[in-house]
Amino acid sequence: MFGRAGGLAMADASASPGATAGFGCGLNSGLQGLGDSSYSSLSGTLGGAHLLAVNGVSKAFGGLKAVNNVSLQVAAGSLTALIGPNGAGKTTLFALMSGFLTPDSGTVVFDGQDITGQAPHVNAMLGMTRTFQIVRPFAAQTVRENIAVGAHLHVKHRAQALALAQGVAQRVGLGDQLDKPASDLTVAGRKRLELARALATRPRLLLLDEVLAGLNPQEISEMIPVVRGVAQEGVTVFMIEHVMQAVMNLAQQVWVLAQGQLIALGAPAQVVADERVIEAYLGHGTAAKLRRANFRGGMP
């Protein structure tokens, strides 16, 4: 439907049997808007306790406000997505949450503890780990050795870390590639390895930054159950994702970021049908055009 050029990859119908919603299938269908005065009273949880709360966080790079007064919550046990056009500030927000960047203002609270500006490895010890959009494994090392790096956060002995790595590799479908150098992996294999390295740190909250980027439709279909499996094991998952097939299939709720600010929160089907979200991705006036096209009985 929409290609990556627009920043949002919508799955076609054949690739996503579970996904029926798309842009233009009914605007403003009960989505919570964040651009008004009700902003601060919104709750992003599904009734459970917050594992993560971001409170009024901002970060500027020179004159650019990459993240502008963002507040959100992630419920323990949930699978939540963060979407938004390229350059919206999603990766920066993850860096602020996980301690790779310190916010100019605002706080980050993990499991009730203020961790604002705390170093990433300390946060990982507490149970929050992120993956990276650009995957850079230790190329000459084996898959097993790469995963063991994550395991070393909790275990000292090499043999123990390597043994743990084996179990993690199986969880992400790399069980038969353990002795390959990481450089021999395909893009899809490297994405699995990135996920495995993060899982080896035994996260309670896993922040996934576009783990499906660069994968073909079949690889995406194979990876979706892996992510779901991680969540079903009890890991809270917060995922930045452009691949809407995955968002529709996996996420219970979706936050939408545009130009550094949250503009919407809702169930996936509500979010992709929302006028503000459509305009953020496709430009001012698009929602009205889609609405007119729908009245004429079809998509443009």
Determine if 102 is a binding residue for ligand ADP (CB under 6 A): no
123 binds, among ligand ADP, Mg ion, none (CB under 5 to 8 A by kind): none
As a whole number of angstroms, the distance between CA 33 and CA 14 comes to: 31
Determine if 91 is a binding residue for Mg ion (CB under 5 A): yes
Please, which of residues 182-221 interact with ligand ADP by CB under 6 A? none
Which residue's structure tokens are 């021999």? 184
- Of 91, 123, 249, 253, the one binding ligand ADP (CB under 6 A) is 91
Specify whether the CB–CB gap between 265 and 44 falls below 8 A. yes
Specify whether the CB–CB gap between 57 and 287 falls below 8 A. no
Binding-residue pattern over the window 129 to 148 for Mg ion, x denoting contact by CB under 5 A: ----x---------------
Give whichever of 90 and 202 is closer to Mg ion, judged by the CB atom.
Answer: 90
As a whole number of angstroms, the distance between CA 116 and CA 122 comes to: 11
Q: What is the DSSP string of 99-150?
A: TSS--SEEEEEETTEE-TT--HHHHHHHTEEE--SS----TTSBHHHHHHHH
Q: Specify the stretch interacting with ligand ADP by CB under 6 A; choose among 31-39, 70-78, 83-91, 194-202.
A: 83-91
Give whichever of 90 and 130 is closer to Mg ion, judged by the CB atom.
Answer: 90
As a whole number of angstroms, the distance between CA 63 and CA 192 comes to: 36
Determine if 129 is a binding residue for ligand ADP (CB under 6 A): no
Determine if 98 is a binding residue for Mg ion (CB under 5 A): no
Please, which of residues 37-66 interact with ligand ADP by CB under 6 A? 61, 64, 66
Determine if 92 is a binding residue for ligand ADP (CB under 6 A): yes
